[in-house]
Amino acid sequence: MATAVFAGGCFWGVEHLFQSLDGVYSAVSGYTGGTTEKPTYQQVLTHTTGHLEAVEVFYNPLIISYEQLARYFFEIHDPTQTDGQGPDIGNQYLSAIFYRSRSEFDTAVKLINILEEKGYTIATDLRSAAPFWKAEEYHQDYYEKTGGVPYCHTYTKRF
């Protein structure tokens, strides 16, 4: 099993869509990239912790590759939006890939270059992996619990 961490706006939609992929065991909503240990949702909302809402994806690399996950990430949110995602505006909703190896970094750079060659101005930030803090239980599997659907995440083919 391998893990990958992506931030693409509200973690509910990102988690929901990643969990639908073959080879993904689970996706967990949480916070990363900030300075506060074990932040709460209420703390993250203050914009003082530096955390982004993110999703940690647990996957089988024999079934789905990191590159396939990263490509999907760029297609389930708007990687050109600079101030959040859809109607969710704020630092905690920025687009970022938290890479854990040189290979993951190189893969993300390659995909960003492909998208920029296609005319997209990519706002996705590449950041070295930071501690990932699981969000409160009521955030986990939100759409499965509520029967809703993502309100600012849809699939858009970009590759």
Query: Catalytic residue positions?
Result: 10
SS3 assignment, position 106: helix
Instruction: Answer positive or negative: Cα dihedral of 86, 12, 51, 71.
Output: negative
**Cα gap 51→130, rounded to integer Å:** 10
H helices present in 24-154, as ranges: 41-44, 66-76, 102-117, 142-146
Distance of CA 52 to the CA centre of its chain: 9
Do the Cβ atoms of 16 and 40 come closer than 8 Å? no
